Structure 1
Amino acid sequence: MNGFNGKLKLVLLAAAASVAAFAAEPLTIEEAVRIAKANAYEVLAAQADSRRARAVVSEAKGSLLPTVTVDGQYTRFAAESTVVINSKEPPIVIRPIDQKSVALNLSQRVDIFGVAGLAISGARALFLASEAIVASAVNDAALRAKSGFLDVLRAEELVGVADERIANVQEELRVARLKNQEGAAAKFDVIRFEAELATAEQERLQAANTLDLAKAAFNEVLARDISTPVELVKPGPVPAVARPLADLTELALQQRPDIVAAARRLDYQNRYRRARQKDGLPALNLSGGITYNPDAGGLGGMQSDASATAVLSFPLFDGGTRRARVSQARADEDRARILLAQQSRAVEKEVKQAYLNVESARQQIETAEKGLELARETLRIARIRYEAGVGTPLELSDANVVLVRARTALVDSTYGYRDAIANLQRAVGIEEIFV
């Protein structure tokens, strides 16, 4: 038994190790987006709503099909009913003590004026709207996955910036101590760089905490345990957006899922209003049935019987209910039309804002690269001046701070550009915005 338990523990440990290795496998941004699309709670909820909408379409189609029922009935009375016509003959049973019957009934609604057809097409419009909402949820999940992915990479690079600052300050401290031992620098210089090193180490700790939080948020976006190890593959360079703003705006108005959903809801409201306008028209219902009574007896008793009925109903007066329903449906249709126009204008604005943000972010990268080049040269000169005894610790410290700011600005602008691209893709509703 102990041997079996030992083997079981080894198997469990091996399985846990394989799971951990799989969880720590480096992710590309495309893989992260795929996982988010499959696991995002909003997507799963939207898919459930879509399945329900599909079932509503099936329910609406069922209204055009016949309804068939089978009824079985058994009745036992306290006594049979008889009647005596001739005293010389046995009494005639007019109701047996037991009665059994089976009935097959069929009813069919005839859609004379297409009301049921409007109900079916309206339900289908709502289903297509729900499918568009699923696509919108998928787009939102993709954006969150990209943003979370880029936030982790940004945080990792900022940890690298903090490490570089620590290395720079450690070098300045080493030089200051050496100069102090040689009598070429005051003890104050050493104390100043020691304080600056402590500050740099504290900032490095804060950067590491920010990285841990970014990884937890990224795991949450992927709908997995927030403590799952995160290893990411840095994406390649992002191509420039080649399509003009007018083309991207037109694409968004044609393909953006929330625009499609709003248009489908307007289509539904239009069909619903037309159906309500036909509520006052005549309605035709057909029905038929076959009844089998094995215990038929008595006067006029029949073992089987069949019947057919056609009912044509003409609504005469409903107290104004139909007119009120038509007014409500027309108001709902007008509201859906207004919301579609409002959504279209909002999408146009969103695409334009995202497009301008991409252009601005691209220019910020160029500015940050020049700023970093200047900051590195400034630090190099400040070091030479300090080592030569003509510079001050304050000048060197300021140069280090400027370098940190320049590196941070380049990291922020680089990932800000990628964020802007992701937001533009979401605003347009498609990934292919580069050609």
Structure 2
Amino acid sequence: MNKYTYRILAATVVLALSLGVGAEAKGSVTRTTTDPSITEKALAAQMNQVSKDKTVNFNNMLVQKNLSDSLGNVAAPEASNLDIDLHGAVTTAIKNNRDITIADLQRKEAEAAVSQAAAAKNPSVSYGWTRSDHKAASSPVTKVVNIDGYPVSTIAGMGPSSTHSYQNSVSVSWPIWTGGAVEGQIDSARYQKNVSDVNYYMKEADTKLSAVKAYYTWLENIKLAEVQDQSVADYASHLNNVQQQFDAGIVAKLDVLTSNVSLANAKQSSIAAHNARDMAEANLKNIMRIPMNTKLNPLDKDFPEPDFDITMDQAILMAQKYRWELIEKDYAVKIANENLRIAKAGYMPTIALGGGYSWNTAGLSGFDKDDWSAKGTISWNPWDGGATQAKIKSAKEAIKVAQEQLLQARESVELEVRQDYLNILAYKEQIRATEASVAQAEEAYKIATVRYQSGVGINLDVLDAELQLNTARTNYITALYNYNIGLATLEHAMGIPAVIHPEFAKAGK
């Protein structure tokens, strides 16, 4: 091969390799615990009690006095205390949430898929090396023998012979035009990357809402436990007063009995309230993904009551613009249109350039031969039995489906926002109503208590007044809880992001 030919081949390979670097395409900007060893040893001890005949195990380990022996000398993780408010709870939850981490990894996976789709437009270089071994035709075999002390060559017969050959080849292929199929696949991959971004932002918003609900549920149960404790204290104080009056012969034994029953019921409610508080705390720690033996201390002592002045129309318009699910549906329509573009490419011709060089030696010594080729290819399939036509029809129907799903989602979002908005208005009114009822119930309880102590009222009046006071306090706390949860739910329904990412500013341009 002469120098001129070698330079052409070398330049072609270098050009193909340099253009191949561009295959790493980027997607477009998107709009916008406990110690396991303890568990393992407990499970191992449990499994050791299973008999071979599959007898049901009634040996409850929870009531065994030697349970600690089966667990071994494993020390429990050291408990810690954590002062937490709403901001800290939400921040920790978003930072530690696994769904967000998975969604972020899926974004990177979608980014790589864009590069993979874009690589189809770039030239490719391939190299092949082949060695072939085969048996040749029979040939005479000579043999040297000694006759009278002299060596003489004789023909011993015909024997097979083997040989081998080599084949080396370098080829370059470059698709110039694919009828829009590759371009459609690239754009579709980019939209899929956008969808993965939106899903990532949506997971953050979902996690924020879950954390807000968990935190306020915990705070609500703390307040409700305090109400039940106060109720127990009120009933106990009243029972002491009834007992004194009974000892003085002023009231009947029935008053003592009914007061005792009311106190016992209040204690039961207090136990349930404390259990609900502890369960709510455990749920919050689970959402935050912090060790379960951490003791949480709330920094918020009371529920906030932030102002709410946005109109329903404003809330709906914002949701229609920023709601994550609607953005995903928008991209679904775009992806469907790209699939139609890919289907229509079946009617278009394709153009490709290529070239190569081959030689039949074991190494690179064959480069001195001029066995090279260059070619251009135009392919067109005017009729494929109707397959392309069917693909186009299917793609058109898929576009209609995506559009209908978008409209359906917009209607669902509007309904959701309206319901959340109306709920907030109702919760706001409930706060005012229950706030007034608490003051009135407190006054009624004081009056009933004084009347009973004075011998004017009856015991039932006091017990009823305490029950009404307990109910009013509970309703007031529940109204505040519902109002704050309603605000968080409406914020989520409007598509307000949980984290302000730098790319949001780019997407808005």
TM-score by length of 1: 0.86
The reply to whether residue 43 of structure 1 matches residue 110 of structure 2 is no
- Letter paired with 1:61: A
Unpaired runs of at least 5, structure 2: 1-73, 140-161, 499-509
Structure 1 residue 37: Cα displacement: 2.2
Given the alignment of the two structures, is residue 259 of structure 1 paired with residue 326 of structure 2, yes or no?
yes
Secondary structure of the structure 1 residue equivalent to 2:298: coil
**Which of 275, 279, 289 does residue 346 from structure 2 map onto?**
279
Please identify, of 113-122 and 231-240, the stretch whose mean Cα deviation from structure 2 is larger.
Answer: 231-240
Within 1, Cα distance between the matches of 2:277 and 2:87? 21
Residue 239 of structure 1, aligned match among 303, 306, 309: 306
Kept in 1: contact 2:349–2:380 (CA 8 A): yes
Partner of 2:437: 371
- 5+ unaligned residues in a row in structure 1: which ranges? 1-11, 83-95
Cα 1:416/1:430, change in 2 over 3 Å: same
Tell me which residue corresponds to 2:487: 421
Deviates more, 1:100-109 or 1:32-41: 32-41
1:76 alignment counterpart = 133
Matches for 1:148-159 after TM superposition, within 5 Å: 148-159=214-225
Partner of 1:354: 420
**Contact 1:143/1:422 (<8 A) preserved:** yes
Residue 360 of structure 2 corresponds to 293
Cα gap change, 1:58/1:80 in structure 2, threshold over 3 Å: closer, same or farther?
Answer: farther
Using the TM superposition, give the Cα deviation of residue 69 of structure 1 relative to its aligned residue in structure 2, in angstroms: 1.3
Number of corresponding residues: 400
User: CA, structure 1 residues 424+295, in 2 after alignment: closer, same or farther (shift >3 Å)?
Assistant: closer
Give yes or no for the alignment of 1:221 onto 2:287.
Answer: yes
Deviations 1:206-230 (A, max 9, x none): 1111112222322332345555433
Q: Secondary structure at the match of 1:284?
A: strand
Does the 8 Å contact 2:172/2:356 carry over to 1?
A: yes
Residues of 2 paired with 1:357 and 1:81: CA distance?
Answer: 98
* Aligned counterpart for 2:82 among listed residues 15, 20, 25: 25
Q: Distance in 2 between matches of 1:182 and 1:192?
A: 18
Per the alignment, in what secondary structure is the counterpart of residue 346 of structure 2?
A: coil
- Between the aligned partners of 2:395 and 2:103, the Cα distance in structure 1 is 26
CA distance in 2, matches of 1:151, 1:184: 45
Check 1:329–1:383 CA distance in 2 against 1; reply closer, same or farther (3 A cut).
same
* Residue matched to 2:119: 62
- Taking the aligned partners of 2:134 and 2:247, their CA distance within structure 1 comes to 122
Distance in 2 between residues matched to 1:287 and 1:209, nearest whole Å: 75
Q: Which residue is 2:246 aligned to?
A: 180
Q: CA deviation at 1:78?
A: 3.0
- Please state if 1:389 is matched with 2:458: no
* Counterpart residue number, 1:5: none
Task: Provide Cα deviations, 1:327-352, integer angstroms capped at 9, x if missing partner.
Answer: 11111111001111111111111111
| Bigger Cα displacement from structure 2, 384-393 vs 238-247 | 238-247
Map of 1:87 onto structure 2: none
Of 316, 320, 332, the match for 1:249: 316
- Contact 1:293–1:302 under 8 Å retained in 2: no
Q: Match for 1:138 among 199, 204, 207?
A: 204
In structure 2, the residue matched to 1:398 is 464
Q: Which whole-Å CA distance do the structure 2 matches of 1:80 and 1:102 have between them?
A: 25
The 8 Å contact of residues 365 and 414 in structure 1, kept in 2 or not, is answered as yes
- Residue 174 of structure 1 deviates from its aligned partner by 1.1
1:208 is aligned to 274
Contact 1:98 1:295 in 2 (8 A): no
Moved more, 207-216 or 155-164: 207-216
1:293–1:303 contact (8 Å) kept in structure 2: no
SS at match of 2:256: helix
Report Cα offsets for 1:374-399 as digits up to 9, x if no partner: 00000000011000001111000000
CA shift, 1:324, in A, is: 0.6
| Whole-angstrom distance in 2 between the partners of 1:396 and 1:195 | 14
Report 1:86-97 matches (<5 A).
Answer: 97=163
Q: How far apart are residue 181 of structure 1 and its match?
A: 2.0
Partner SS, residue 97 of structure 1: strand
Identical columns (%): 26
Counterpart CA distance in 1 for 2:480 and 2:282 is: 22
1:238–1:80 distance in 2 versus 1, CA, 3 Å:
farther
Residue 181 (structure 2) pairs with residue 110 (structure 1): no
Please give the alpha-carbon distance, in whole angstroms, between the structure 1 residues aligned to 2:350 and 2:182. 11
Q: CA deviation at 1:248?
A: 1.8
CA separation of 1:272 and 1:295: change in aligned 2, threshold 3 A? closer
Letter in 2 for 1:237: P
TM-score, length basis structure 2: 0.74
- Structure 1 residue matching 2:351: 3-state secondary structure: strand
Contact 1:295/1:303 (8 A) holds in 2: no
Q: Distance in 1 between matches of 2:362 and 2:268?
A: 97
After superposition, the C-alpha distances for 1:301-356 in whole angstroms (9 at most, x for unaligned) are 97452111211111032111001111111111110011111111111111111111
Note the aligned Cα RMSD (angstroms).
Answer: 2.5
Amino acid paired to 1:38: K
Q: CA deviation at 1:80?
A: 8.6
Q: 1:431 to 1:368 in 2, by over 3 A?
A: farther
* One-letter amino acid matched to 2:208: A
1:398-417 CA distance string (max 9 Å, x none): 00000000000001001110
8 A Cα contact 2:303 2:480, kept in partner: no
Judged with a 3 Å threshold, the aligned counterparts in structure 2 of structure 1 residues 295 and 382 are, in CA distance, closer, same or farther, namely: closer
Q: Distance in 2 between matches of 1:238 and 1:311?
A: 72
